[in-house]
Amino acid sequence: MTPEPIQPLPTEPGPIQPLPTRPKPILAVRDIGKSYGAVRALQGVSASVGAGEVLCVLGDNGAGKSTFIKILAGAHPHSEGTLLAFGTERRFTHPREALDLGIATVYQDLAVVGLMPVWRNFFLAAERTRGRGPLRRLDVAGMRATTKRELARMGIDLRDVDQPIGTLSGGERQSVAIARAVYFGAKVVILDEPTSALGVKQAGVVLSYIARARDRGLGVVFITHNPHHAYPVGDRFLLLQRGRSLGDFAKSEITIDEMTALMAGGPELEALAHELERR
């Protein structure tokens, strides 16, 4: 008895799946520029970051990264172009204006007091109090408990929030600063070279907390000169050179080798290599 031939399955086309779309930008710049007198520190730069995204801003020393940070953070108003925050055009004249909108900046020096305990630094300039009038006092227990809880939510497990923050490693201090920004309502966190002075292991710790902030729905602007730190966590990459943009790329549009070559100067580096060869 011969088996019946297997009938082919119907080949009706299924529903077309929509392509994934980027989240709506919560912070964006278009052709932004900054001049200090006759010096143009930044010119024609466009980029954006959405909720749950990491925008990496890369460039060598003098590329314009610091100027870019100051514009986003409200420290310096831009001279040209457009800055949009939550869809509304803005022109910041003071860092408090950016902070009130939920744009927090963590600088390299972290603005911490090394001899104070972790919880005091967590609530620095925003201390909680209890009671009224002459009976008003610091809510020490409440601040300790909140600090420990919020650090745990970011995956930071400290032995004791009473220990001086100066005794923590560089990566741990950066992580505390990120958790503090998240707790006080940041929607966008700008990180100024957070891994520049760290070893490989501690840099990895900071990168993991950047990913945690991203996964909690924050927009992260990660300033760095190291493509090997940027590429694992980045969704978009803005490359700066001498105050101008070399491009704003999605991760699918550029490889780490291409990024490194662009930052290094490509043809200029190749010409230098030939020049330095032994004759």
**Confidence at residue 100, expressed as pLDDT on a 0 to 100 scale:** 92
- Token pair 């994934």 in the structure block, residue: 20
Residue 237: what are its φ and ψ, rounded to 5°?
-135, 120
- pLDDT at position 55: 96
pLDDT at 205: 86
pLDDT digits (tens, 9 = 90+) for 190-227: 999 988 878 888 888 889 989 999 998 999 999 999 99
pLDDT score at 70: 93
- Which stretches of the chain drop beneath a pLDDT of 70? 1-21, 265-276, 278-279
Write the burial class of residue 177 (CB in 10 Å: 0-12 exposed, 13-18 middle, 19+ buried): buried
Q: Which domains does the chain have, with CATH numbers?
A: 29-113+169-268 (3.40.50.300)
- State pLDDT tens for residues 232-268: 999 999 999 999 999 999 999 999 999 988 887 655 5
What lies within 8 Å, CB to CB, of 71 at 6+ separation is: 29, 32, 34, 42, 77, 78, 83, 92
b/e burial code for range 18-46 (CB count within 10 A of at least 16 → b):
eeeeeeebbbbbeebbbeeeeebbbbebe
Looking at residue 275, its pLDDT comes to: 67
